[in-house]
Structure 1
Amino acid sequence: MAARPHGGESNRPVAGGLDDDDPRLAFIYQEAVRGLTHQQTVVENMNTRAGSLIFATAFANSLLGGAALSNGLGVWDWAAVTLLFSIGGLIVFMLWPYHQYTFRFDPEELLHHYVDGDKPTTMSAMHRALALRIKADMASNWRIIQRLRMALQFALVFLLLDILAWLLAIAGV
């Protein structure tokens, strides 16, 4: 039977083994994953908001556009139609699936780098490396999210201006 370590020896990693497991690195890795998950939720919420914007735009334009166009085409009608197409373009930009988000790791790459390589990696080293990689992925994702957020904000302002243009067209101003 193997002898158990005494006193302070129990906290030391086994030489040459893979028993290195720093709970601080595990905590940091978990927080990084939580941040990345939150970021993914933000993207999903923005897609939901874009869908709501489609509905609001369609509703406002069908309701107000029909009334405004019954008097013919005027300056405000053209302004409203231009704003409608601008909103449509921004919505397409927000929902088009070309964005290169990074929310997960490639299992084959992880196996190659951390398990099947020349020297297997400890859990602490993996947690550290993956936490840093998540940070880089989050920064890359954030640039995309910022562009989408700006597009959503412009589309919302354009919707308000669109409604105002239709109301001015109906009023005959």
Structure 2
Amino acid sequence: MAKRSSAGETDRTVASDLADDDPRLAFIYQEAVRGLTHQQTVVENMNTRAGSLIFATAFANSLLGGAALSNGLGLWDWTAVALLFGIGGLIVFMLWPYHQYAFRFDPEELLNQYVDGDRLATMSAMHRALALRIKADMAGNWRIIQRLRMALQIALLFLLLDILAWLLAIAGV
């Protein structure tokens, strides 16, 4: 004969299932969140560096460009102006707000998936699923960050070449 569980036993079973909280999964989830927070800091630092690049470019071009252009336009002047436009384009690429970063979860989606669904999820199951999702988000973010890092490096190289071109124009080479 099958034993029927009372409502109290069912509540205790659900409560014990929901109390299943593996500290290892909680740790892994916290580390995943820490990694995602670090990525967000990297993006903010890249934006700050782009701002510094704007200042450095403006300063160098106003200081050196004025002196170089007083002699008229030559090959090095045009080269410096072309490099200036290249730097400007790269800065716009870095700062344009079209990048699709994933640094947080949609609360409505979390509620639908873990609270309001047919089956209640344990904290361990949530930590595991969200840690894996963070990993996927970090991979997507990293592709964007790599492109921005490359654009910053190219822009810095262009700035050095721009300064060199202005100096050559001033020297009359």
Query: Normalized against structure 1, the TM-score is what?
Result: 0.91
- The one-letter code matched in structure 1 to 2:108 is E
- State the shift of 1:83 in Å: 0.1
Q: Say if 2:61 is the partner of 1:58.
A: no
Partner of 1:127: 127
CA drift at 1:19 = 1.1
Query: Equivalent residue for 2:68?
Result: 68
Q: Distance in 1 between matches of 2:44 and 2:101?
A: 12
**Deviation sequence 1:28-75 (CA, Å, 0-9, x none):** 000000000000000000000000000000000000000000000000
Distance 1:15 1:41 in 2: 42
Q: Name the counterpart of 1:35.
A: 35
Separation in 2, partners of 1:145, 1:75? 35
Percentage identity across paired residues of the two chains: 89
Structure 1's consecutive aligned runs of 4 or more residues displaced over 2 angstroms after TM superposition are 14-17
Residues 65-113 of structure 1, C-alpha deviations (whole Å, 9 max, x = no match): 0000000000000000000000000000000000000000000000000
Report the Cα distance in structure 1 between the residues aligned to 2:119 and 2:86, rounded to whole angstroms.
Answer: 55
SS of 1:18's partner is: helix
Q: Which amino acid is the alignment partner of residue 36 of structure 1?
A: L
Equivalences, count: 160
- Deviation per CA, 1:120-155: give whole Å up to 9, x if none: 100000000000000000000000000000000000
Cα separation, 1, equivalents of 2:60 and 2:132 = 46
Q: Which residue of 1 aligns with 2:95?
A: 95
The CA distance in 2 between the partners of 1:15 and 1:170, in whole Å, is 82
Q: CA deviation at 1:15?
A: 4.1
Measure the CA separation in 1 of the matches of 2:61 and 2:79.
12
SS in 2 for 1:168: helix
